[in-house]
Structure 1
């Protein structure tokens, strides 16, 4: 495949994914291809494809030999993509044959579900619109003592990003912060945070570990960080990832998880899924949240950013693929993550890879785990990729919400025990 063909390919992908906002974007016939590099040469080949054509929608980037790479491609470009990515001995398989089929099934489930926003009857087993989540947050906070809504930041389109603040003891000074939904299409992330909030509050007073966690820490949990993008993923484009900053030159959106200020780098096409913005903290979501989190000073003891998918529990550094010697807390971060993973896997047998974000997954500058550790000074700063390992990708069925929440809840109790033992 020649350079002109590849450029036309990239252009068509951009047009399809970035400008299809008049009416709901459909993904009829879109396939997700899976490529698993078996040698270092094959890995470098696929990394080259990803680097040259950054506007392709790589659901899972090339990271390690033996680790799958997933990429979604439009029907018109599938043959060209396979040709451009192929080399002798490298197997390219169709992992998801029609993305729209999965989207349609999910939409039907949401229509048929009981989307009652009353805190007592709220369906924790379904995905919800932001309007439903916001109504639930209001109801839940007003119905439970020691629970309130707190403003964390604002969005490009003027939405207020709220967190649920759980403060059961007036003497608790230490703060634990959790956020979900920074990438709009990763719906299992907000659903998991919502379930964690409910479990923490409902188990207070009956579960000794949870009671200790809430007595000794103020917990602030943000179900939907990227509100603009999340709303758009429900109304217009299920596969939307970024925020809704219109930028200049046509392509919409900044990847908020490339826009933090620690080791931010400004390279990248505005049409890329990972476009980092014009400068560090250019987006109000991130600049505002930094101000909010910095206000806690050294009392901030935990920063977790929930994503999907892949099943990883990752610690800094993420900005480089090299293991940097100067990292005083690496051993503690890894040790705690390993204990957390053991608790997670004990529930349903799902293994999460524990590792250093850049070396063990893939390098990304301006990302949240480095922000938490490098900018905020939080020792225990993690980015977590939730279920699954690629069978459903971003279209994780609603029936997996509760199993995911159950295993993460078990992991969070283990993490909470460590926080209390170390800081209380």
Structure 2
């Protein structure tokens, strides 16, 4: 599955928008009208609470008989109930971010596994779900997987995700990494999208909203992190309009400043609080791809000084291929060992997702999908470059699924797609944890 540079561009050309709909590219018209040519909104959203107010723990497809139907998509209420059900059944530590959302929602999380007893010492792996509101199934994939992992550990069994099988030893090894997770990092946006079926991507902060324009509410949280956030100045002029947007009406509006939003500050708070974190996975839909750093430009391992911190290259980033005639030759530095470790983990994850149900996932560097600024995975990895006192965190993104083109919003999966996504992410998350365990959980800033 390893892709050459040329092959990467060719293979990923159809995925050029991934988390974005074609009409939402930052350089195109803003204030687009969502597709409403059909009443098809994909798999129904749960109306009751199948976890009985946090007294029942969820179990995914990895610990249940083949063909098990988990029913409807988890509502926002059920996501919280499922989380509390897991915490009650397995007695793991829970926490709440100190930052409330615009609509006063709490961003909650948990810590499971690991070998040490210290509150902030154990977790090495961080899973984040539902940063983009409309990417339905993100929270479900994570909670059902963790339910499987904890159930299999308690019952001394293994896991089966379609064509991928894991032993109880694998389960224990995966848990030994220590996992911290946020199952719902954009609660306001998800609640709005589920209530309105409007294919909503952003949060619901109206700080920059234009009167009379509903699309101008909210900030794209995955453009709000402090990594090359000031994209008009830092990226090449021909690339910058595609990287993010300064226009509140755009789907990729990056906010008034880096970390302007309580949701992104909450994710940073997790990284600051759990100081031994080393691996980060942000869960998105729907491009059928596993991504690793960097997302700003193509990687290089020879010129250490050519990096996102060096102002010499301001205005040159993101152009692929480069334009030597225009004096633009830039690639993002990554140590060769880091690069090898990232591709190894991502390849294992992609191969496992392929094997689960037979659909093919591409594996590539994030920039080959499209250059971005202010993304969570790049911020995670950039922290130790900007401040060597911080632990290195490898950043990854998985874009699960392949879209429901018959729905009013392609991010709303069919029941069959929802089922396939659960199997694929279950296998992929297992390989991610096993890779983290095998590659290393040490505290050193570099290998």
- The bucket for the TM-score relative to the shorter chain is 0.7 to 0.9
In structure 2, the residue matched to 1:62 is none
From the superposition, tell whether residues 155 and 169 of structure 1 become closer, same or farther in structure 2 (CA, over 3 Å): same
Work out which of the residue numbers 376, 383, 386 in structure 2 matches 1:375.
383
> Is 2:312 aligned against 1:366?
no
> Is 2:159 aligned against 1:150?
no
What TM-score, normalized by structure 2, do the two folds share?
Answer: 0.69
Work out which of the residue numbers 172, 177, 183 in structure 2 matches 1:217.
177
For the aligned residue pairs, the C-alpha RMSD in angstroms reads: 3.0
The answer to whether the 8 Å contact 2:131/2:186 transfers is yes
Question: How is 1:90-129 mapped onto 2 (pairs within 5 angstroms)?
Answer: 99-103=37-41, 106-107=43-44, 110=46, 115-117=50-52, 118-120=55-57, 124-129=70-75
In structure 2, the residue matched to 1:305 is 282
Local SS of the residue matching 1:381: strand
The answer to whether the 8 Å contact 1:246/1:253 transfers is yes
In structure 2, the residue matched to 1:259 is 224
The answer to whether the 8 Å contact 1:319/1:367 transfers is no
The answer to whether the 8 Å contact 1:261/1:375 transfers is no
What TM-score, normalized by structure 1, do the two folds share?
Answer: 0.72
The answer to whether the 8 Å contact 1:179/1:225 transfers is yes
Q: Which runs of 5+ in 2 are unaligned?
A: 1-9, 60-68, 158-167, 232-244, 298-317, 321-329, 385-390, 442-447
> Is 2:260 aligned against 1:276?
no
From the superposition, tell whether residues 375 and 121 of structure 1 become closer, same or farther in structure 2 (CA, over 3 Å): closer
- Count of aligned pairs: 339
In structure 1, the residue matched to 2:274 is 296
From the superposition, tell whether residues 394 and 49 of structure 1 become closer, same or farther in structure 2 (CA, over 3 Å): closer
Question: How is 1:210-249 mapped onto 2 (pairs within 5 angstroms)?
Answer: 210-214=171-175, 216-248=176-208, 249=210
**Whole-Å Cα distance in 2 between the matches of residues 293 and 121 of structure 1?**
26
**Whole-Å Cα distance in 2 between the matches of residues 47 and 56 of structure 1?**
13
**Superposed displacement of residue 236, structure 1:** 2.9
**Superposed displacement of residue 169, structure 1:** 4.1
Local SS of the residue matching 2:434: helix
Q: Which runs of 5+ in 1 are unaligned?
A: 1-36, 58-71, 75-97
**Superposed displacement of residue 421, structure 1:** 2.0
**Superposed displacement of residue 401, structure 1:** 2.6
The answer to whether the 8 Å contact 1:319/1:364 transfers is yes
**Whole-Å Cα distance in 1 between the matches of residues 146 and 105 of structure 2?**
22
Local SS of the residue matching 2:124: strand
Give CA-to-partner distance per residue, 1:20-72, whole Å, 9 cap, x none: xxxxxxxxxxxxxxxxx99x9xx9xx999945424165xxxxxxxxxxxxxx7
Give CA-to-partner distance per residue, 1:318-345, whole Å, 9 cap, x none: 1234472521122321122112111111
In structure 2, the residue matched to 1:335 is 344
In structure 2, the residue matched to 1:162 is 108
> Is 2:417 aligned against 1:403?
no
The answer to whether the 8 Å contact 1:142/1:148 transfers is no
**Superposed displacement of residue 403, structure 1:** 2.3
The structure in which a higher percent of residues are helix is 1
The answer to whether the 8 Å contact 1:319/1:366 transfers is no
**Superposed displacement of residue 174, structure 1:** 4.0
The answer to whether the 8 Å contact 2:341/2:439 transfers is no
The structure in which a higher percent of residues are strand is 1
